């Protein structure tokens, strides 16, 4: 076979229309073989002829897309010195754009003999491992453009490609569970009718189905076990995995963009599927172990692990940083995705031992003209020392706000002394983010996510029920901050069912009317249950898939969720770009603040009331006339004003609406108890009874009417009345002492 010298860049396999260039980095290799496979699995080996700056490369004329290939790296095998080259193992290209097949648990995948760690195993792994695939880079994107939704306008929907679509009756059976299914009009219609602006896809980088799970009849469902940072996972392809998954993924992105929905990827750059020193040799380990992985100082045979998976990538290695940045740029520029959520992002910040917000990783992200302009979301914790970093990431980043999740769950299940912190989370968590110059969009608010209970199970189970995972219910988080509403699991009790439904609506209302960026877990809007399993990472079956056959309760919840999402979308007072200032409106004659916290009696909350151990009821006034920030055209934003009445008490509470200074007449927008009908009107100073554990949202039109020609606010004077007392405490937070949340994490 003819092979030309080729080029050392770009890394990976690059088809140019006439042939394919191959380039592989290895700082320890003495020789690198390119291995090509025909349809029958026959292997042809050819040495890469050139090496420049530790990049081995060669060009094969006429080699076409669809060609399966791998590498064999000849070099030192000396685990004590951190080297694990093993030419008996067929290795994946770290830059492979597509990957074919899956691994089995054959002993040949391992460089040692089972039961004898020090004994070499030189069995050939070809036939038991995956192969890289040369892809066709050309695709007709047509008029595709990124939706570029502003962060404060975003509603994120965390979704699993297969779990969301596998049981959808309108999707053809052969397409279910795939990228094509997610692009199906019926699925897109559900997303658009709900009002989400972005889908955050759980891992779609090629991942490994762990042999240990296969041995137990289970599989890696979540996909946090990456082996290919450039390749769409082949099992989610409806029409084959010999490179077609790339075209299918691009078509999915194009269809979602056409529906004005962004695509955010949950990416796992903190570790790989090769595990610890006893793991298989699949790619990085056999190419240049010490350059890719963080090894234990003084014990190079073992891996320094802050992820709980056996290894961590070496974030101070320039080749690891290049790999990550090349991967990110590829997904943005070639695959057209709109952002990333970084799994266990604190590990990416560990340039040395400690979490360093100024590490090289953040530096290169900050200066990159491509990556710095897309949505960047951190899961701000890992399992190492000092790994809980909520509020600790640089200004460019948003974060999963674990303190929001914990506080909102505690408030609605009736934990004492949670009211003040609940108010802080509702108003954007300025105590976590404002001190570093960040804004409410730094907080990605969520009540549930893939890791933990679904919303339905959060209100139906006190304890986890993970027996199906085969680990004697030891896996998964034990402290769930959940409440079963009186009965563990399924019940026919109408009072319990009514309470559970109300609690689910309370959570959705709180989430979507909080300042920050809301994230909904897929299926929560339809009552999806995992039967109390809070760790379905290995359950690729009906336990984790969305059931689209909705009963009347599920249908009602879906309609309510749509109403709350659209209420947020229609009113900028719920999605401010800046924190509350506690200041009156500008240009008017009223002293009403942009936010006010009122007791059920309609008076301003005192410090003593915030500190009451069992205080669980409050009103918040959001002044639409005092948003005090311009829209994107520079015009002052004016909106309706809202009163939101929260009652997390176990009994009904009498609320007295504030006096006419706040508004003459209020209109019901939402009631999680369904006792008040949308459109009902209530006069100021009226006393109403709010059901136990329920939320009522009231609105009134703006006093500052917008001029229909200039679109500028035409200022009018509010009704006369007593001035409410100024809010105390830090701007945007309730009065009283600062509060902090428990350092939870998923």
Catalytic residues: 343, 379
The SS3 assignment for 558 reads helix
Tell me how far apart the alpha carbons of residues 260 and 645 are, in angstroms, rounded to a whole number.
33
Strand partners, 72: 33
Assign residue 6 a region: left if phi > 0, alpha if psi is -120 to 50, beta otherwise?
left
Compute the residue count for the chain: 746
570 CB-near residues (< 8 Å, 6+ apart): none
Tell me how far apart the alpha carbons of residues 434 and 399 are, in angstroms, rounded to a whole number.
13
How far, in whole angstroms, is CA 218 from its chain's centroid?
24
Helix extents (H) in 259-294: 284-292
648 CB-near residues (< 8 Å, 6+ apart): 411, 412, 414, 506, 616, 617, 693
Provide long-range contacts, Cβ within 8 A and 24+ apart, for 371-375: 371/325, 371/328, 371/329, 371/332, 372/396, 374/332, 374/337, 374/338, 374/339, 374/340, 375/151, 375/154, 375/198, 375/262, 375/264, 375/338, 375/339, 375/340
How far, in whole angstroms, is CA 63 from its chain's centroid?
39
The SS3 assignment for 160 reads coil
The CB density around residue 652, as the number of other CB atoms within 10 Å, is 15
Q: Determine contact, residues 602/657, Cβ cutoff 8 Å.
A: yes
* Burial (CB count <10 Å: 0-12, 13-18, 19+), residue 656: middle
Q: Determine contact, residues 693/495, Cβ cutoff 8 Å.
A: no
Q: Of 484, 476, 586, 631, whose CA–CA distance to 539 is shortest?
A: 476
Tell me how far apart the alpha carbons of residues 1 and 46 are, in angstroms, rounded to a whole number.
8
Which tokens hold the place of 504?
């689910």
Assign residue 207 a region: left if phi > 0, alpha if psi is -120 to 50, beta otherwise?
beta
The SS3 assignment for 494 reads helix
Q: Determine contact, residues 236/292, Cβ cutoff 8 Å.
A: no
CA trace torsion 711, 715, 721, 723 (10° rounding): 90
474 CB-near residues (< 8 Å, 6+ apart): none
Among all chains, which residue has been given the structure tokens 């990605």? 444
Q: Determine contact, residues 572/596, Cβ cutoff 8 Å.
A: no
The alpha-carbon radius of gyration of the chain (Å, integer) is 28
666 CB-near residues (< 8 Å, 6+ apart): 643, 657, 681, 682, 683, 684, 698, 699, 700
Where would I find the beta strands (DSSP E) of 553-693?
595-598, 617-622, 641-647, 653-656, 665-671, 681-683, 687-690
Q: Are strands 198-201 and 156-159 parallel, antiparallel or unpaired?
A: parallel
Tell me how far apart the alpha carbons of residues 184 and 182 are, in angstroms, rounded to a whole number.
6
């Amino acid at each position: 076979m003819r092979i030309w010298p080729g080029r050392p860049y770009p890394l990976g396999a690059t088809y140019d229309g006439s042939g394919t260039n191959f380039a592989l980095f290895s700082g320890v290799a003495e020789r690198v073989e390119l291995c090509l496979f025909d349809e029958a699995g026959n292997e042809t080996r050819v040495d890469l002829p050139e090496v420049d700056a530790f990049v081995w490369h060669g060009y094969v004329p006429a080699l076409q897309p669809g060609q399966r290939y791998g590498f064999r790296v000849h070099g030192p095998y000396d685990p004590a010195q951190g080297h694990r080259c093993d030419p008996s193992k067929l290795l994946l290209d770290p830059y492979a754009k597509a990957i074919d097949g899956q691994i089995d648990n054959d002993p040949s995948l391992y460089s040692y003999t089972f039961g004898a760690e020090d004994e070499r195993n030189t069995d050939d792994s070809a036939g038991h491992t995956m192969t890289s695939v040369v892809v066709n880079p050309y695709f007709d994107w047509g008029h595709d453009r990124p939706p570029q939704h502003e962060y404060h306008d975003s509603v994120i929907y965390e979704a699993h490609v297969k779990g969301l679509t596998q049981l959808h009756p309108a999707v053809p059976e052969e397409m279910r569970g795939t990228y094509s299914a997610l692009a199906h009009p019926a699925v897109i219609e559900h997303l658009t009718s709900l009002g989400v602006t972005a889908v955050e896809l759980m891992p779609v980088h090629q991942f490994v189905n762990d042999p240990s799970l296969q041995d137990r009849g289970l599989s890696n469902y979540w996909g946090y076990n990456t082996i290919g940072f450039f390749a769409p996972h082949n099992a989610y392809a409806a029409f084959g995995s010999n490179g077609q998954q790339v075209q299918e993924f691009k078509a999915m992105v194009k269809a979602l963009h056409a529906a004005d929905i962004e695509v955010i990827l949950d990416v796992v750059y903190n570790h790989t599927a090769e595990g610890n020193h006893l793991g298989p040799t699949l790619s990085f380990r056999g190419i240049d172990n010490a350059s890719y992985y963080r090894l234990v100082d003084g014990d190079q045979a073992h891996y320094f692990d802050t992820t709980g998976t056996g290894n961590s990538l070496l974030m101070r290695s320039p080749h690891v940083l290049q790999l990550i940045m090349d991967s990110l740029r590829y997904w943005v520029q070639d695959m057209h995705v709109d952002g990333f959520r970084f799994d266990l992002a604190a590990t990416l910040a560990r340039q040395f031992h400690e979490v360093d917000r100024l590490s090289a990783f953040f530096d290169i992200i900050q200066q990159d003209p491509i990556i710095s302009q897309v949505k960047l979301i951190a899961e701000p914790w890992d399992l190492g020392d000092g790994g809980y970093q909520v509020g600790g990431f640089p200004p460019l980043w948003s974060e999963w706000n674990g303190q929001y999740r914990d506080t909102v769950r505690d408030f609605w299940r009736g934990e004492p002394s949670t009211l003040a912190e609940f108010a802080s989370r509702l108003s954007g968590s300025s105590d976590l983010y404002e001190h570093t110059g960040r804004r409410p969009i730094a907080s990605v608010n969520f009540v549930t996510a893939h890791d933990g209970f679904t919303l339905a199970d959060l209100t139906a189970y006190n304890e986890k029920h993970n027996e199906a995972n085969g680990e004697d219910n030891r896996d998964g988080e034990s402290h769930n901050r959940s409440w079963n509403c009186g009965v563990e699991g399924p019940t026919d009790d109408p009072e319990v069912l009514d309470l559970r439904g109300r609690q689910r609506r309370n959570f959705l209302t709180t989430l979507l009317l909080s300042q920050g960026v809301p994230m909904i877990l897929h299926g929560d809007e339809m009552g999806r249950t995992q039967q109390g399993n809070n760790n379905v990472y290995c359950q690729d079956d009906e336990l984790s898939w969305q059931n689209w056959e909705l009963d009347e309760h599920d249908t009602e919840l879906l309609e309510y969720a749509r109403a709350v999402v659209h209420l947020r979308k229609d009113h900028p007072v719920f999605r401010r770009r800046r924190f509350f200032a506690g200041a009156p409106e500008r240009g008017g004659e009223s002293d009403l603040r942009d936010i006010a916290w009122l007791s059920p009696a309609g008076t301003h909350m005192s410090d003593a009331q915030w500190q009451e151990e069992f205080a669980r009821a409050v009103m918040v006034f959001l002044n639409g006339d005092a948003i005090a920030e311009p829209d994107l055209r520079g015009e002052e934003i004016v909106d309706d004003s809202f009163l939101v009445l929260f009652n997390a008490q176990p009994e009904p509470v009498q609320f007295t609406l504030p006096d006419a200074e706040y508004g003459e007449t209020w209109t019901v927008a939402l009631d999680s108890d369904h006792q008040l009908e949308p459109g009902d009107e209530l006069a100021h100073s009226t006393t109403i009874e709010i059901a136990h554990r329920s939320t009522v949202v009231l609105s009134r039109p703006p006093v500052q009417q917008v001029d229909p020609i200039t679109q500028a606010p035409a200022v009018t004077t509010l009704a006369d009345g007593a001035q409410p007392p100024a809010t105390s405490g830090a701007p945007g937070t309730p009065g009283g002492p600062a509060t902090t949340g428990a350092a939870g994490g998923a």
